[in-house]
Structure 1
Amino acid sequence: MNALVLMRLAGFVRSGRALAPVIAALVVLAVVHGGGQSAAAPAYGYSAVMLFPVLAWQAKLVLDAEPDVQRRLARLTVGPRREACAGLLAAAVLGAVFCAVAMLVPWWPFHAVRGPLPGSAEPSTAAGIALGVLAHLLALPAAVALGALASRAVTRTVRNGITVLVVGAVLVIVLGLGGSFAPWLVPPVMATARALAADSSPSAFALWLLSGWALAWCAVALAGYARLRKSRS
């Protein structure tokens, strides 16, 4: 399975498909951090929200890069479960690279992170960075799951895949807004950003709740992905 992951990563990069999401991610990060300085926690919270659709799009591109015949051969060679996991792992590895870049960009070239204001309850810069890592770690699996649900192996056509991707990304934002009637239908990307944008550090209970929510949503989404792939293979 490791060889299959490396093959998919190499094919995705060498084919030039990686260029479009890289440019989109850099544009998004420039918009987020180019407007001025803010504390580390809210800066990274907004970064995770804005990167979410890009990460989902990249995951779809990774999963769609392999021709259908080659994907079927891989299923026969390593088994359906390992073949599916290899694609998800390849998408997650590339997404992790994007998240690592997103953690560095506010420091250089934008210098967009400041320390806590005197007398405020804002978390320290170190705590803000840790919260930022958590925000991106919570957004990444959900983005990979959405990209998987929009992949060609599930949706069959480009039109259906784009529809799933766009509608899913929009619903994550709309249903994640404060006061939403069903926020549990989407991963807590917006909820995490709101928690990090508060004047004080989120409590440990709130962080555990957000983490459990994200893991539960991803488990359901990936279970649906596995079931759909099995029924449409």
Structure 2
Amino acid sequence: MAEAEALRGHALAVQRRLEQLPEGSAVEDRLGVVTRQTSETDIFVRLNLDGAGRSFIDTGLGFFDHMLTQIARHGGVDLEVRVQGDLEVDEHHTVEDTAIALGAALRQALGDKRGIERYAFLLPMDEALAHVALDLGGRSHLVWEVPFSREVVGDVPTEMWQHFFKSFCDAAACNLNIKASGENDHHVIEAVFKGLARSLRQAVRQSGGSDIPSTKGTL
């Protein structure tokens, strides 16, 4: 209970700092701040698309923390994720709800998506190769072709990764096409997360224009 209260207090403090920024301030980064509370998880996510690759990740799952850190480091974004989940039950709620909160934070940070590249990676890691194609066009869809030979890597069942990315796509309203292969499942998963990070870095980049990248005029 004390940890959950601290989490809510932290989220409120961040929101107040954002509200206190003067209009026209030099600090007008694209930020997404999401607090998600259910009977199963209590989650705070803060995503800065114009960050420098900094991160603080604490989900209670060491391998999951390691993967989320890749998004910040290789995506060039600042990412804070704090999770209190019912890990005494299993990993499912923590992984799924974190994906939902992260996707919602991305959608919030993108705003009207004016001026972004929108589309984006082939990324190798030793013997593993990941193809991660991303479209921030406002429609949710996941193509997942990632076979695993192990049931668990680290402290996370490998079956949870497809569920993570599907939940992320739904919350972020984005299209992801992910295909990966390799002999080492750890390398495969990490290549996928790094591929997402690099795709995200490219897709959210602002090219200097003010147009919305769609003939419909909205995303």
TM-score range for the pair, normalised by the shorter chain length = 0.3 to 0.5
TM-score, normalised to structure 1, is 0.31
TM-score, normalised to structure 2, is 0.32
Higher strand share: 2
Tell me which of the two structures has the higher relative contact order, counting C-alpha pairs closer than 8 angstroms and 6 or more residues apart: 1
Higher helix share: 1
